[in-house]
Amino acid sequence: MKRPNLAPAQLASDALVAVLALGIAYWARFGLKLPRYIPGGEAPSPGHYLLAAPVLALTVVIVFWLLGVYRHRRGVLFIDELFGVIGALAITAVVVLAMMGLDREFSYSRVTFAYWLLLTGLLAALARYALRRRAAARRAAGIGADRALVIGHGAAADLVIQRVRMFPDYGYQLAGVISDVLPAGADFRGVPVLGSTRRLPELVQKERVSVVFVALADVSQEQILQLVDSCRESGAEFRIVPSMLEIMTTAVTGDQLDGIPLLQLRRGLDIDGPAAAGKRAFDVVISGLGLVVASPLLAVIALLVKLTSPGPVLLAQERVGRRGESFRMVKFRTMRSDAESESGPVWATAGDPRRTGVGAFLRRFSLDELPQLWNIFKGEMSLVGPRAERPVFVQEFDASLNHYADRHRVRPGLTGWAQANDLRGQTPVEERLIYDLYYIENWSLAFDLKIILITLFRVFTHKNAY
């Protein structure tokens, strides 16, 4: 089945957007005469702007193409694609300004240009989002999806399987698992084991596989080359999950020596330096504003909780925070007041009968977490960071998972990199730990902003909030 290619549609939409944005910008400047304090004078003939429209469209497309905006990269988040478009549009603005300066016979309106730039960015983002959703829906329905095999039987293979299932819109259909340890016919995480690596060429042909994920522990370069060579004639693509998954996601940065790619192990980041102070200032400002702006919503939610079930409105649970210190994390009560009287501390499950009617709605859209803005304002939490767990769970995970305690190097967050990737609910703790440690080693204010924006989009589409 032919794999869908968004590049032609994106190119055409960008060109159309550039022309449409110019028309709207001209009308807004000389038709509406906005803003009022800028003298409008007589509206210039639209002839020059009509001639400029195809030039602008061509400039946008060429600059975007040169900067790799149309390069196909499956699995790239919309926010990352949007940042790429914004960066390319900034370069386009410089080019267009230079071209405007070359025309000595006509002076284009700088205000119109500013309108055009803003409108082009907005319309291009909307068009790309629509194209992505359409393509994602088609792939989720199996149209243009790639059949895939997973080679492996450990944590890395489990991670690949979970992510493929969690995001069917990436366009992968699992045909099966290949393992030299598990017998053919066995089941690994709900996926059938088809055979050993010796049967890889045969299985690629038989199952019409186009992508092979190599998720083997401690795999050698020679083994990988043998696997690739065995399927060379099939045309299957190989995607390799690093065997040193923990190191690759938490402590490695790229470098090069005269063109030779290098992997450099980081010594660790200064989490108490100036950047941390900037992060704390950002938390205080945003949480303070959030408490003020969201106060009517908080009052309505509190009233609904109080009227629909007996018990307190707020629940203050003991959680483990920075440096392993305990604090009381506040949230709206979403379960019966006696929810853990018999079971003790347990995680919520899908369709959990302990939830109240209002509580199920609050948990689905993460509205029960809003009171934690107060924890953030007080300095016990941050807007972004690993989610805080209860002491009983921390003790359990710390005993079984290496580096779990490293999560407590930073303040816990209202959201995090794991939650932005929909790793919530009963998703494996090992997977969440990988994302949490990656965040700690790579955090920045820009990364925080990215996670916040992704979370705002994800709140309507996540599948693991219950």
Per residue in 267-293, pLDDT tens?
445 566 677 888 899 999 999 999 999
Cβ-contact 88, 125 below 8 angstroms? no
Is the pLDDT at 264 greater than 70? The verdict is no
pLDDT at 46: 77
Q: What pTM was computed for the model?
A: 0.65
Is the pLDDT at 421 greater than 70? The verdict is yes
Cβ-contact 251, 439 below 8 angstroms? no
> Considering only CA atoms, which of 446, 75, 398, 441 is closest in space to residue 246?
441
Candidate from 52-56, 178-182, 361-365, 440-444 with smallest mean pLDDT: 440-444
Is the pLDDT at 333 greater than 80? The verdict is yes
pLDDT tier, 27 (very low <50, low <70, confident <90, very high otherwise): confident
pLDDT at 2: 46
Q: What is the pLDDT of residues 302-324, one digit of tens each?
A: 999 999 888 889 989 899 999 88
pLDDT tier, 262 (very low <50, low <70, confident <90, very high otherwise): low
Return phi, psi of residue 238, to 5°. -110, 130
Is the pLDDT at 444 greater than 90? The verdict is no
Question: Does 345 sit behind a cis peptide bond, omega within 30 degrees of 0 on the bond before it?
Answer: no
pLDDT at 463: 60
pLDDT at 332: 92
Q: Which domains are delineated in the chain?
A: 7-140 (no CATH), 146-243 (3.40.50.20), 274-458 (no CATH)
CA distance 447 to 62: 29
> Considering only CA atoms, which of 247, 372, 394 is closest in space to residue 319?
394
Taking residues 108-136, what's their average pLDDT? 88
pLDDT tier, 385 (very low <50, low <70, confident <90, very high otherwise): very high
pLDDT at 268: 47
Is the pLDDT at 75 greater than 70? The verdict is no
CA distance 363 to 123: 33
Distances (CA, A) of 429 to 20, 153, 257, 434: 48, 18, 37, 9
pLDDT at 228: 82
Token readout for 386 is: 């690993």
CA distance 411 to 214: 35
CA distance 270 to 262: 23
CB atoms within 10 A of CB 163: 17
Token readout for 201 is: 């060429």
Cβ-contact 434, 245 below 8 angstroms? yes
Taking residues 395-400, what's their average pLDDT? 87
pLDDT tier, 465 (very low <50, low <70, confident <90, very high otherwise): low
pLDDT at 283: 93
Q: What is the pLDDT of residues 200-245, one digit of tens each?
A: 888 888 888 888 888 887 767 777 788 888 877 777 888 887 654 4
Cβ-contact 288, 377 below 8 angstroms? yes
Cβ-contact 212, 204 below 8 angstroms? yes
> Considering only CA atoms, which of 191, 159, 195, 166 is closest in space to residue 179?
195
Cβ-contact 117, 6 below 8 angstroms? no
Taking residues 104-115, what's their average pLDDT? 79
CA distance 116 to 96: 11
Question: What burial letters (b/e) apply to 375-411, b meaning 16+ CB within 10 Å?
Answer: bbbeebbbbbbbbbbbeeebeebbeeeeebebbbbbb
Angle at alpha carbon of residue 434, lines to 460 and 444, rounded to 5° = 75
CA distance 430 to 179: 21
pLDDT at 198: 87
Cβ-contact 21, 123 below 8 angstroms? yes
Provide the mean pLDDT of the chain: 81
Taking residues 320-342, what's their average pLDDT? 84
Is the pLDDT at 247 greater than 60? The verdict is no
Q: What is the pLDDT of residues 158-198, one digit of tens each?
A: 878 887 887 777 778 888 999 888 888 888 888 899 988 88
pLDDT at 83: 84
Is the pLDDT at 60 greater than 90? The verdict is yes
Cβ-contact 79, 457 below 8 angstroms? yes
Is the pLDDT at 350 greater than 80? The verdict is no
